[in-house]
Structure 1
Amino acid sequence: MSDIYILMIVALAVLAIADLIVGVSNDAVNFLNSAIGSKAISFRTIMIVASIGIAAGAIFSSGLMEVARKGIFVPGEFYFDEIMIIFMAVMITDILLLDFFNTLGMPTSTTVSIVFELLGAAVCVALIKIGADSALSIADLGSYINTKKAGEIIIGILLSVVVAFSVGAIVQYVSRLLLSFNFEKKAKWVGALFGGVALTAILYFIFIKGIKGTNYAKSIIDVVYNGGAEGLLDWANIYFDSSYETVKDLVSAKKDIFKIDADKGTIALTLRGFLETNVPLIVSLGFVLLSLLSYLVTTFFKVNIYKLIIIVGTFALALAFAGNDLVNFIGVPIAALKAYEAWSVSGQLPSEFSMTALGGKAETPTLLLLAAGLIMVLTLWFSSKARNVVKTSIDLSRQGDGNEKFRPNFLSRGIVRSTVFLSEVVNSVLPTSFKNIAEKQFDQELVDKTNVTLTKREDLPAFDMVRAAVNLMVAGVLISIATSMKLPLSTTYVTFMVAMGTSLADRAWGTESAVYRVAGVLNVIGGWFFTALSAFLAAAVIAFLLSLHLPSMLGVLLSLACFLLVRNTIKYRKKAKAERAEDRLKKSESSSIQGVIEESADNIKSFVSRGNKIYGNTINGLAKYDLAELKKSRKGIAKLETEVEELRDSIFYFIKNLDDASVGASHFYISILGYLEDITQSLEYVAKVSHKHVNNNHKKLRFNQIKDLKEIEEHLGDFFGNIKDVFDSREFNTLSGIIDEKQELFAIVNDKINKQVSRTRTEESSPKNTTLYFGLLMETKDLITATMNLLTTYRDHQD
């Protein structure tokens, strides 16, 4: 029987490696988004700093896996075989859940996922035990589950979302009022003071959050009592102004701050205790020294203090992430290994050995921590999904407009309307002088004009270095406070909501983008609740299946997990490869009319190639009655439609970028976009009605109808192919010959219409078929007309 548990330990080790990979891919947003979004330093430098932080955090972590061992359930109430089922269910669920979010590019909390997976699996196994014992009832569930701890975690998570957003918004608003968007033009002492505040907060965060989980936290700073065991309790009650009845109560209350040896009668202040009991002193000295240091490095060494803050902050969050969140990835396998070691020497049956051994402290070997740190660093460098998750967070906090990933909904519209109304009410009572000052400080017109003319708009930073510094500073402070107060929270939720709060305060969510950004935030928050619910239910279901028959279900579930992971990875890579290979429509960045014509030629070449493919696939799918092919065509046209919409949304910036001699190019560009939109609408109609017809299981088109449509599709294929060749070779003098084909193409379509009229009067018996067929032919005529107008406009302007 022990062979199955050896196999489970090996499987858990492999799952731990996979969990490290998917976990880091999601949690990278915690410490990368501010540095990447501000583009204060190169991407390579960002990765090096984050890698050093992760490696240091992993190596110096003590590896106390409290949550996995006894944080959620009471280990002494379960037997070894039950504990192994719980741990296996948790790991399988965690990998699949995090990989799902990574594929979507949505940030979620690895802490929340592991907590609710442990809770779900433990509740399931506990209910099975209760059901098997007639002497027990559902009321006894509380003896198996640490309900107090679970409740604290849930409340802490909900509070952290609101507090992080609010504090982030307030601090950013005050910072912008003091520094403005032209912060680099301020006096050096202003930047030095800001640097003193930010660096003090970040470095204190490193000490509190980074050192808390290490063995260094227990180092003795000062011995405050060494008078023997007899008078220890009396002295402690006077010193702490308390009334402890027993030494045990004293030790339990002060164990994190003081190291108390009851036998020797000594009380020593630890490093962690010193940091937590001398906050005002440490912060005051830190602020003075770091402000002075900031002034010196900016004055004499010409160091940009904001870049320095971002580098130190990125290192700090990476350090804390690896040092403390490591439990989310390897805590469960380590706990399972400790459980196996305890059982293997007991000589008892797995179903009779109580897991009270997990109630004590256990440390992870340094070699394992080093290996985990190495895997995390490699994942950070090579995971494309990590960058996808980071991109979601950056896009939602981008200053000004950008490519909006999320669609607005009634809730986001309602929130925006309410906020606008509330803003108007507040503005009506604010003094005019304050409003004038605020408007001046938040005016970024000069910054925008300076930067837009120098580089492409998408290459500009998503936000400036002040906001990046505030993001890192506020996140560090909030996590430090929660850690010192022993309040559970999710670092992902804190860092994300701080970034959203600073975005709101920085007026990044203007009327042009607010509904999209709010919808995005609501989607992410909704995903967090989905994480908790799905983690609980999925882990419970897997634990139940494993309980039915462990050997067989273990093989089935592990095989299923591997299959899903491999399939998701292959699909993601294929999708990413297809997107890279596909010629996306590019926004015009040229300032001259000749440059605009050249760039438009590339877009038209790509557009007609993809349009031809969509039309051909739609007709083929309709001929074969292939719903999957028609669905693929609808996705293709939806993507093309989105890209055309993005080009249309960039008209404002295109016109702004033109030089005075080329303003006439704006009319040409707008006309081209209009015709591209007309062609897209025709293709969208063809794909939609064809998919609807097959999806509703209507009659197949008749053979003659299919034959006629295939003939039209072949002519259009040649037509679009000729257009692509012209724009690819830039032989625009041949456009007139293609334009002259208009009447020939119309004649072919009109001939098919006349044939269908005759068939309808004599042999056609399906109204749906007739409606679909005429709709396809009429929309094809519109498609030809819009394409000809496009070519005519291009030929005339080229001449």
Structure 2
Amino acid sequence: MSDIYILMIVALAALAIADLIVGVSNDAVNFLNSAIGSKAISFKTIMIVASIGIAAGAIFSSGLMEVARKGIFVPGEFYFDEIMIIFMAVMITDILLLDFFNTLGMPTSTTVSIVFELLGAAVCVALLKISADSSLSVADLGSYINTKKAGEIIVGILLSVIVAFSVGAIVQYISRLLLSFNFEKKAKWVGALFGGVALTAILYFIFIKGIKGTNYAKSIVDVVYDGGAEGLLDWANTYFNASYETIKELVKAKKDLFKIDGTTGTVALTLRGFLETNVLLIVFAGFMVLSILSYLIMQVFKTSIYKIIIIVGTFALALAFAGNDLVNFIGVPIAAWQSYEAWSVSGIAADSFTMNVLDSKVATPTYLLLAAGIIMVLTLWFSAKAKEVVKTSIDLSRQGDGNERFKPNFLSRGIVRGTIFLSESISLITPKSFKTWSDKQFDQKLDISNTMVVTKKEDLPAFDTVRAAVNLMVAGILISIATSMKLPLSTTYVTFMVAMGTSLADRAWGSESAVYRVAGVLNVIGGWFFTAISAFVAAAIIAFLINLHQPIMTVVLLLVAVLLLVRNTIKYRNKARAERAEDRLKKSESSSINGVIEESSDNIKSFVSRGNKIYTSTVSSLAKYDLNALKKSRKGIAKLETEVEELRDSIFYFIKNLDDASVGASNFYISILGYLEDITQSLEYIAKVSHKHVNNNHKKLRFNQIKDLKEIEEHLNDFFTTIKTVFDDREFSTLDAIIHEKQELFTIVNDKINRQVARTRTEESSPKNTTLYFGLLMETKDLITATMNLLIIYRDHQN
């Protein structure tokens, strides 16, 4: 029987490696979004700093494995075989859940997932034990679950969402009032003070977070009492300023801060104790020194202090991520391995060996932590999914308009309307002088909409360095406070909600984007709740399945997990490869008329080629009555339609980007977009009605109808292929000949319409077929008309 447990340990080790990879891919958003979004430093520098932070944080994680061991359940109430079921269920669920969110490009919380997976699996196994013992009832479930600790963790995680958003918004609002968007022009001492506050907060966070997990935290700094054993209790009473009855409890609670020897009557202050008992002194001294240092950096070295803050803050959050969240990836496998070691030497049967051993604190070997850190760093550099998750967070906090990924819903619209009403109400009672001054501070003269003349929009920062610095500073402070309170909170929730709060305070969510951004935040938060519920349920189900037959079900579930991971990876890579290969429509970035003509020519070539494929595929799929192929056609036209909408949304930036001599090109560009939209609508209608007809199981088109459609499709294929060649080779002199084919194409379509009229009067018996056929022909005429208009305006502009 021990063979199955060896297999489980090996499987858990493999799952831990995979979990590190998918976990880092998701949690990279925690420490990369501020630095990448601000573009204050190069991407390579960001990755190097984050990698060093991850490596350091991994090594400092030795003492942080308690959640997996006893934070959620009471280990002494379970036997070894039951513990292994719980751990296996947790790891299988965790890796599949995180990979699912990574594929969607949505940030979620590894802390929440691991907590609720442990809870779900433990509750399931506990209920199975209760059901097998007639002397127990569901009311006894509390003896198996560490409800107090689990409740603290869950409440702390939920509160972190509200606190992080609120604090982030308040700090950013105050910072912007003091610094404005023209912060680089402020006096050096203003930046120095901001740098002092930010660096003090971040560096204190690094020390508290980093030192806690190492043996250095227990090193002695000073002997604070050496007055003999007789006076020890009196000293404690004076030092802690507490009643006599609570002294022992206080000393016990502060055991990490002091080393007390009751025999000799000495009390030594540890390094951690020194940091925590002298917070105000350390913070004040740090602020003074770092403010002076910040001033020297700006004055002498002519370097922006905000860049320094971003570098230090990125390192700090990377360290915190590895230090705090490493337990989420390897805590369970290490606990399982330590459980197996204890059981294997006990000589007791697996179903009789209680797991009291997990109650004790066991340090994790440094080589395991180092190996985990190396895997995390490699994943950070090479994971494409990590970049997708980071992109979601940056897009939602972007200053100014951009491509909005999320669609507005009734809830986001309601929240925006309510916020506008509240804002207007507050504005009525706000002194006019303050409003005038604050509006001046929030005047975004350096916003992307005004710098388009010199820079491509996608190359510009999503937000400035002040907001990036505040994001890192506030996130660091909140996480360090939670660490000192021994609350394992979600770094994902904190960093994401701080970023959302600062973007709101920075007026990034204007009337043009608010409903989309709020909808995005709601989607992400909804995903977090989905994480908790699905993690609990899935882990419980998998634990139940393993319990049915441990050896067989373990192997089966592991194979299923591997197959799903491989399938998701292949599907994601194919999707990414297809997107790279696809000739997407590109926004015009040229400032001259010739550049606009050149770029629009490439778009027309791409658009015509893709439109031709969609039309041909739709007709062929309709003839074959192939529902799946028609679904793909609808997806293809929906994607094309989205790209055309993005081009229309960028008209504002296009017009601002034109030089004075080329302003007339705006009419040309706008007209082209209008005709592209007309063509897209025709293709969308053709794909939609064809899919609807087949999906509703209506009669297939008659042979003569299919033959006529095929004939039209062949003519249109030649027509579109010729257009593509013209724009590919820039042979615009042939446009006249193509335009003259309009009447010929119309004659062909009109002939098919007349034939169908005759068939309808004599032999047609299906109203649905007739409606579909006429609709396809009439929309094809509109498609031809819009395409010809596109060619005409391009020909006229060439002349």
Amino acid at match of 2:524: V
Instruction: Determine the structure 2 residue equivalent to 1:745.
Output: 745
Instruction: Determine the structure 2 residue equivalent to 1:518.
Output: 518
For the residues of structure 2 that align with 1:262 and 1:81, how far apart are their CA atoms?
42
For the residues of structure 2 that align with 1:342 and 1:103, how far apart are their CA atoms?
39
Percentage of pairs with the same residue: 84
For the residues of structure 1 that align with 2:246 and 2:450, how far apart are their CA atoms?
69
Q: CA deviation at 1:363?
A: 1.0
Q: Unaligned 5+ residue runs, structure 1?
A: none
Amino acid at match of 1:277: T
Instruction: Determine the structure 1 residue equivalent to 2:673.
Output: 673
* Aligned counterparts, 1:95-494, within 5 A: 95-229=95-229, 231-243=231-243, 245=245, 249-446=249-446, 448=448, 451-494=451-494
For the residues of structure 2 that align with 1:536 and 1:776, how far apart are their CA atoms?
50
> Please, which moves more after superposition, 258-267 or 8-17?
258-267
Kept after mapping to 2: 8 A contact 1:590/1:658: yes
Instruction: Determine the structure 2 residue equivalent to 1:551.
Output: 551
Give CA-to-partner distance per residue, 1:736-767, whole Å, 9 cap, x none.
11111111111111121122222222222221
Amino acid at match of 2:623: A
Q: CA deviation at 1:224?
A: 2.1
Amino acid at match of 2:117: E
Kept after mapping to 2: 8 A contact 1:247/1:262: no
Q: CA deviation at 1:256?
A: 2.8
The question of 1:570 aligning with 2:570 is answered: yes
Q: CA deviation at 1:455?
A: 0.8
User: Could you list the runs of 4 or more consecutive aligned residues of structure 1 that deviate by over 6 angstroms after TM superposition?
Assistant: none
Kept after mapping to 2: 8 A contact 1:64/1:361: no
Kept after mapping to 2: 8 A contact 1:257/1:274: yes
Kept after mapping to 1: 8 A contact 2:181/2:445: no
Instruction: Determine the structure 1 residue equivalent to 2:535.
Output: 535
Give CA-to-partner distance per residue, 1:646-681, whole Å, 9 cap, x none.
111111111111111111111111110000000000
- Secondary structure (helix, strand or coil) at the match of 2:52 reads helix
Amino acid at match of 1:111: T
For the residues of structure 1 that align with 2:259 and 2:770, how far apart are their CA atoms?
87
Instruction: Determine the structure 2 residue equivalent to 1:798.
Output: 798
For the residues of structure 2 that align with 1:330 and 1:274, how far apart are their CA atoms?
31
Q: CA deviation at 1:436?
A: 0.9
Kept after mapping to 2: 8 A contact 1:198/1:309: yes
Q: CA deviation at 1:117?
A: 0.2
For the residues of structure 1 that align with 2:316 and 2:751, how far apart are their CA atoms?
72
Kept after mapping to 2: 8 A contact 1:35/1:314: yes
Q: CA deviation at 1:214?
A: 2.1
Instruction: Determine the structure 1 residue equivalent to 2:652.
Output: 652
Q: CA deviation at 1:773?
A: 1.1
For the residues of structure 1 that align with 2:449 and 2:402, how far apart are their CA atoms?
17
Amino acid at match of 2:183: F
Q: CA deviation at 1:250?
A: 4.7
Q: CA deviation at 1:555?
A: 1.2
Give CA-to-partner distance per residue, 1:138-194, whole Å, 9 cap, x none.
000000001111111121112111111111111111111111111111111111111
> Please, which moves more after superposition, 65-74 or 692-701?
692-701
For the residues of structure 1 that align with 2:446 and 2:337, how far apart are their CA atoms?
61
Q: CA deviation at 1:32?
A: 0.2
Instruction: Determine the structure 2 residue equivalent to 1:643.
Output: 643
Kept after mapping to 2: 8 A contact 1:108/1:528: yes
Amino acid at match of 2:611: G
Give CA-to-partner distance per residue, 1:334-391, whole Å, 9 cap, x none.
0000000000000011000000000000111111111000000000000000000000
Amino acid at match of 1:363: A
> Please, which moves more after superposition, 742-751 or 400-409?
742-751
> Please, which moves more after superposition, 333-342 or 766-775?
766-775
- Secondary structure (helix, strand or coil) at the match of 2:697 reads coil
Amino acid at match of 1:687: A
Distance 1:580 1:448, change over 3 A: closer
Amino acid at match of 1:777: L
Q: CA deviation at 1:627?
A: 1.3
Instruction: Determine the structure 2 residue equivalent to 1:89.
Output: 89
For the residues of structure 1 that align with 2:728 and 2:745, how far apart are their CA atoms?
23
Amino acid at match of 1:274: F
Kept after mapping to 1: 8 A contact 2:130/2:136: yes
Aligned alpha-carbon RMSD (Å): 1.3
Amino acid at match of 2:202: I
Amino acid at match of 1:84: M
Q: CA deviation at 1:419?
A: 0.5
Kept after mapping to 2: 8 A contact 1:69/1:332: yes
Give CA-to-partner distance per residue, 1:253-285, whole Å, 9 cap, x none.
212322334455433222222111211111100
Kept after mapping to 2: 8 A contact 1:482/1:489: yes
Instruction: Determine the structure 1 residue equivalent to 2:561.
Output: 561
- Secondary structure (helix, strand or coil) at the match of 1:452 reads coil
Amino acid at match of 2:323: G
Instruction: Determine the structure 2 residue equivalent to 1:592.
Output: 592
For the residues of structure 2 that align with 1:58 and 1:414, how far apart are their CA atoms?
44
- Secondary structure (helix, strand or coil) at the match of 2:481 reads helix
For the residues of structure 1 that align with 2:272 and 2:764, how far apart are their CA atoms?
86
* Aligned counterparts, 1:760-779, within 5 A: 760-779=760-779
- Secondary structure (helix, strand or coil) at the match of 2:241 reads coil
Give CA-to-partner distance per residue, 1:429-488, whole Å, 9 cap, x none.
111111111111111125557632211111110000000000000111111112212334
For the residues of structure 2 that align with 1:2 and 1:244, how far apart are their CA atoms?
53
> Please, which moves more after superposition, 239-248 or 780-789?
239-248
Amino acid at match of 1:485: M
Instruction: Determine the structure 2 residue equivalent to 1:26.
Output: 26
- Secondary structure (helix, strand or coil) at the match of 1:62 reads coil
For the residues of structure 1 that align with 2:332 and 2:48, how far apart are their CA atoms?
29
Using structure 1 for the length normalisation, give the TM-score: 0.98
Amino acid at match of 2:675: Y
Amino acid at match of 2:689: V
Amino acid at match of 2:628: A
For the residues of structure 1 that align with 2:561 and 2:499, how far apart are their CA atoms?
34
Amino acid at match of 1:736: D
* Aligned counterparts, 1:715-754, within 5 A: 715-754=715-754
For the residues of structure 1 that align with 2:238 and 2:51, how far apart are their CA atoms?
48
Q: CA deviation at 1:245?
A: 4.8
Kept after mapping to 2: 8 A contact 1:210/1:324: no
Amino acid at match of 1:8: M
Amino acid at match of 2:426: V
For the residues of structure 1 that align with 2:71 and 2:230, how far apart are their CA atoms?
35
Kept after mapping to 2: 8 A contact 1:113/1:532: yes
For the residues of structure 1 that align with 2:518 and 2:676, how far apart are their CA atoms?
30
Kept after mapping to 2: 8 A contact 1:63/1:369: no
> Please, which moves more after superposition, 421-430 or 124-133?
421-430
